[in-house]
Amino acid sequence: ETGVTQSPTHLIKTRGQQVTLRCSSQSGHNTVSWYQQALGQGPQFIFQYYREEENGRGNFPPRFSGLQFPNYSSELNVNALELDDSALYLCASSLATPGEGYTFGSGTRLTVV
């Protein structure tokens, strides 16, 4: 059973640029969620995808967008990067019903300079 893998592990971007982060969900999981974790904080929910449709969104601006593909992998895109976007971005996969819990990847550390 494979876990959740995220890429890249680290990257540095300049303010105003765009970034794409990738996530491969755990085998058999059809739901992917993305979280932003600022330094010293708990993870904050960005959005969730189920069967390629967004079905939940947190308090993040539209410049945060995502995709889910037929194989349930996912992308997080952030446009017009701001310094405050610097954070650890975590992807979690699960089944549509929460009984099995969520499996998290190791995250992508984004630094905006």
Amino acid symbol at 29 = H
Residue environment code for 51-60, b if the CB has 16+ CB neighbours within 10 A, otherwise e = eeeeeeeeeb
CB of 52 to other proteins, least distance (A): 14
Binding mask 47-86 for other proteins (x = CB under 8 A): -x-x----xx-x----------------------------
39: helix, coil or strand? coil
- Of the listed pieces 11-19, 61-69, 78-86, 90-98, which binds other proteins according to CB under 8 A? 90-98
Q: For the chain, what is the radius of gyration of the CA atoms?
A: 13
Q: Is 107 left (phi over 0), alpha (psi -120 to 50) or beta?
A: left
CB atoms closer than 10 angstroms to residue 104: 18
Of 85, 104, 110, 112, which one interacts with other proteins (CB under 8 A)? 104
Give whichever of 17 and 100 is closer to other proteins, judged by the CB atom.
Answer: 100
Give whichever of 60 and 67 is closer to other proteins, judged by the CB atom.
Answer: 60
Q: Is 45 in the site for other proteins (CB under 8 A)?
A: yes
Distance CA 105, CA 93 (A): 8
Binding-site ranges for other proteins (CB under 8 A): 4, 6, 31, 33, 35, 40-45, 48, 50, 55-56, 58, 90, 92, 94-99, 101-107, 109
